[in-house]
Structure 1
Amino acid sequence: MAVAQEKPKETEAKKPAYQPSEEVKQVLTPLFSRILKADVSRATVELSAETVMGGEVVETVESTYQIASKYPDRYTVYFKSDEDRKRLYSDGKEGVVALTPEAFYRLPRLVSCQELATRPEINLGPYPEVVLALTLAGVDPAVTFLGGMKSVEIVSRSKYRGSVQAVQLRGQQKDGVSWNLWITDDDRPRPLRLLVDLTPMLVATGQVAVPQGYAYSLRYDFKSWRVSGEVDDKLFQFAASENAVEYESLEDYRQKKAAELEVHPLLGKKIPSFDLQLLDGDAVSIGSATDKVIVLDFWATWCGPCMKAMPVIESLSQQYADKGVEFYAVNVGESSALVKGFVGEQGWDLSIATDPNGETIEAFSAKSIPLTLLIAPTGIVEAVHQGFPGPDELNKQFRDELDVLIKGGRIASSDAADN
């Protein structure tokens, strides 16, 4: 009589074509098999995103993942950083994204653990695939870690941080991205640390010129990790708070929030007095009456729409330089060293100010970027632009408003906000 055998879990994603050496397989297969065969998982992972200029770390952004799952489609993924906190839920029937404690939306379809690890459709950090592939129950990590690979090799076998026997592996992807993975060297392997160098990916996009000596890497430290034991089903159930608002989608949320932000709190009001620290070391006082029209454009190196708007800002600053208009591009939340190297590579002919500690963000209510304020010689904020509508529309909008302000006129939106 034949004995019935348990049906093995099927991987939903296509197996990678790359095949590592037998030596590498002997190291990776036990870990990948534990995850693939797992019915449950729990993990806490700390992420440090580091920006390096000339061999020196100039900025570090810390965040944390708290993940629990049950194969095949129940999970909760909590991503927390200073700038972003969101939680993804799936109870096996529907998926919910809690953007804030007061805002959420339901996913149009249920996404399995494997799909989430392979193609996450929501922003869960700078490069979530790698951490999800190592922490969600029943997924095949080989899809993520061996797909598109050029090479994988064993670097060393030694004590990790002087205490745990570990194996270090290095992978090189065809797109230039590289990773280093440390896992315990025992009969029940688990991940300890993962380093990912994303610099080649940034270079390949070509959206902006990456400065010489610039590097961007991610360090994932697995503070806790298990693929056994019990996991409470309550973790996968979303319960909306009393004041929570449900949105149709992420786009619906963004549009409605953008509409709420259309009337900027400073529109039609006197700008607060503040000193802008310019990249060249000088300081400029903002807020007192002057004979100039002031344009403050808030931006950051990581902000794609900011980069698209910058050529328009730079062109207008040159065209209106002899018409009594001063432009200042204010970088928010990044170190002066990072900004200096980045701006030098772009070759911008524009006055750059830095705000590494976020003080200007608070003073000028720059909660969302790109954000541009047009300030009349009286010190009144006459116009506020948020987002990037496109180069032609942005150029026309600025020209129309600047032509009014340099003649001493006021803008209708400012008049309405002032009344």
Structure 2
Amino acid sequence: MNCVGFRKWLAQPLLLFCVAFVAIPSVTHSQDKPSFELSEDVREALTPLFSRILKADVSRATVDLSVETVMGGEVVETAESVYEIASKYPDQYTIYYKSADDRKRLYSDGEKGVVALTPEAFFRLSEVASSQELATRSELNLGPYPEAVLALTLAGVDPAVTFLGGMKSVEVAGKMKYRGSIDSIHLRGQQKDGVTWDLWISDDSKPRPLRLLVDLTPMLIATGQVAVPQGYAYSLRYDFKSWRVIGEVDEKLFQYTPPPGAVEYESLEDFQQQSSEELAEHPLLGESIPDFELTLLDGSIIRKDDLKGKVFVLDFWATWCGPCLQAMPVLAETTKAFADKGVQFYAVNVGESSALVKGFVSEQDWDVAVASDPKGDLIELFSAKSIPLTLLIAPSGVVEAVHQGYPGAEALKQQFTDELEVLVQGGRIASSVPTDAKPEK
């Protein structure tokens, strides 16, 4: 498993675009029922909006999503994306999810479904999901929490399934002037897992959603997969820039026409497999590494010349990358076993602020040297287009092995150990030797 498609110019966390600490679940499940009695003021606030959506035949919406990472009360990272959605009840829709590193569009004309993964790659769905199914549990990665925005934007769905099932409480937090001019009602809900949401709805005869704020911090803490630093918070903010459930919607929006040169894949798995195979051919394998400079969290600098004549490992990772966090303890333990033979290990964080990395690492039991690369300067230099990415470099400065993704603890430990055994003895790893230099069998 790996996280693909990193860009040098993206100096923000990609929790939206890849695997995070854990898979973020839907806010609710359709089989769950509220374990509390809705108060009359909550019913009065939600029913008009939910009824408009449920009775709608068409919809159009544009929603901005901001993912904010907070450390000690200060926003240290922000990643932005946008949803453009059009639908016609019961199962015609186009859902365009656009972020800095991911542009994905889902089409359904009611009979056929297509997912355009990139402008040049698509696959056809064997079955078309109804709008309600998408708003209850989306099988396609359309952001960190697509059900919330889909439940409020797809025509004919019942938002209560998503927003009231599995809840611990929902209350009216008050009335206010949204952005100083729009009369609004503010509602707050708490899930059974501790996750909270705040929803602002216009307070008029034709209510519409204005903003949805979801705080996922309690869920991250509850998983226990990683130690969440004190003062850390992770939230999603949806701002509804445009929203309507009346008028006409051109049905051409629900139809997909492949552009010239587009490649059709059998499935998402087929696309990922072929993409992984392409990524496996890392351009630095068998080549000398470029000049580089690592800035460690303690402020010290490590340069290429400082490691001349030594076996060392560079591991590119991020706090949002689940496979990275799974691989780190394995890599740390394995390289430590070769420390007496001079092997050195550096965990290079990509694209996140030093403040966030320091706080996060301070809570982990890794005992590794961590370098911070907040501007992403090393991403292009080492072709880190997919993480986790681990490079094993020989004393000669040649990249002898490349690991992309996380194959599992045992497989990674065995392969990593075997490769380090070869390198500390001055040998070469077969995969890094040019074909024309290999002896004939």
Aligned with 1:248 (options 261, 266, 283): 266
Does 1:94 find its partner at 2:94? no
TM-aligned CA deviation for residue 286 of structure 1: 2.6
Greater than 2 Å deviation, 4+ residue runs: 12-19, 286-289, 416-419
Kept in 2: contact 1:135–1:225 (CA 8 A): yes
Q: Is the 8 A contact 2:308 2:396 kept in 1?
A: yes
Which among 276, 299, 319 is matched to residue 294 of structure 2? Answer: 276
Q: Secondary structure in 1 aligned to 2:434?
A: helix
What residue is the counterpart of 2:94 in the other structure? 76
Unaligned runs of 5+ in 2: 1-28
Residue matched to 1:341: 359
Matched residue, 2:49: 31
**What SS does the corresponding residue of 1:301 show, helix, strand or coil?**
coil
Amino acid paired to 2:407: P
- Alignment partner, residue 9 of structure 2: none
> How far apart in 2 are the matches of 1:15 and 1:172?
14
- 1:360 matched to 2:378: yes
Give the CA RMSD over aligned residues. 1.5
Q: Secondary structure at the match of 1:255?
A: helix
Q: Secondary structure at the match of 1:281?
A: coil
* SS at structure 2 position matched to 1:346: coil
TM superposition score normalised by structure 2:
0.90
Q: Please give the alpha-carbon distance, in whole angstroms, between the structure 2 residues aligned to 1:386 and 1:60.
A: 26
Kept in 2: contact 1:16–1:142 (CA 8 A): no
Q: State which of 205, 220, 231 in structure 1 corresponds to 2:238.
A: 220
Q: Secondary structure at the match of 2:65?
A: strand
Amino acid at match of 1:125: G
Task: Tell me, yes or no, if structure 1 residue 185 matches structure 2 residue 238.
Answer: no
Partner of 2:34: 17
Identity in percent: 71
Q: Partner letter of residue 196 of structure 1?
A: V
Find the counterpart in structure 1 of residue 125 from structure 2.
Answer: 107
Structure 2: how far apart are the matches of 1:122 and 1:358?
A: 28
Amino acid at match of 2:235: S
Shift of 1:17: 3.4
Deviation at 1:417, TM superposition (A): 6.1
> Quick one: structure 1 residues 14 and 409, their matched pair in 2 at CA, closer, same or farther if it must change by over 3 Å?
closer
Matched letter for residue 75 of structure 1: Y
Deviations 1:321-351 (A, max 9, x none): 1212110011111111111111111121000
* 8 Å Cα contact 2:279-2:386 kept in structure 1: no
| 1:317 aligns to 2:335 (yes or no) | yes
Structure-1 separation of matches of 2:168 and 2:59: 30
**Corresponding residue of 2:17:** none
For residues 379 and 289 of structure 1, the distance between their equivalents in structure 2, rounded to whole angstroms, comes to 8
Determine if the alignment matches structure 1 residue 406 to structure 2 residue 424: yes
> Deviation at 1:180?
0.6
1:127-169 C-alpha deviation (Å, 9 max, x unpaired): 1111110000000000111011111111111211111111111
Measure how far apart 1:407 and its partner are.
Answer: 1.7
2:378 corresponds to which letter in structure 1? Answer: T
2:25 counterpart residue number: none
Aligned partner of 2:142 among 114, 124, 130:
124
- Report the Cα offset of residue 416 of structure 1: 2.8
Find out whether 1:42 has 2:57 as its counterpart.
no
Change (3 A) 1:261 1:355: same
- What's the CA shift string for 1:342-366, capped at 9, x where partnerless? 1111121000011111111111001
Residues 117 and 400 (structure 1), Cα distance of their counterparts in 2 relative to 1, 3 Å cut: same
Would you say 1:167 and 2:182 are equivalent positions? no
- Give the alignment partner of residue 160 of structure 2, picking from 120, 142, 158: 142
- Per the alignment, residue 151 of structure 2 pairs with 133
- Secondary structure of 2:194's match? coil
Q: Provide the C-alpha distance between the structure 1 equivalents of 2:318 and 2:353, rounded to a whole number of angstroms.
A: 11
Cα distance in structure 1, aligned partners of 2:154 and 2:165: 18
Choose from 325, 335, 345 the match for 1:307: 325
Q: 1:418 to 1:55 in 2, by over 3 A?
A: farther
What is the SS of the residue equivalent to 2:333? helix
Deviations 1:88-133 (A, max 9, x none): 1111111111110111111221100000111100111111111110
Query: 1:1-36 CA deviation, whole Å, 9 max, x = no partner?
Result: xxxxxxxxxxx9558335411111001000000000
2:31–2:165 contact (8 Å) kept in structure 1: no
Matched ranges for 1:1-16 at <5 A: 13=30, 16=33
Counterpart amino acid of residue 165 in structure 1: D
Task: State how far apart, in whole Å, the 1-side matches of 2:384 and 2:103 are.
Answer: 19
1:302-322: per-residue Cα shift (whole Å, max 9, x none)?
111111111111102321112
Instruction: Tell me if the contact between 2:186 and 2:200 (Cα under 8 Å) persists in the aligned partners.
Output: yes
> How far apart, CA to CA, are the structure 2 residues paired with 1:417 and 1:16?
62
Higher relative contact order (CA 8 A, sep 6+): 2
| Secondary structure of the corresponding residue to residue 261 of structure 1 | helix
Distance change in 2, residues 1:304/1:48 (3 Å): same
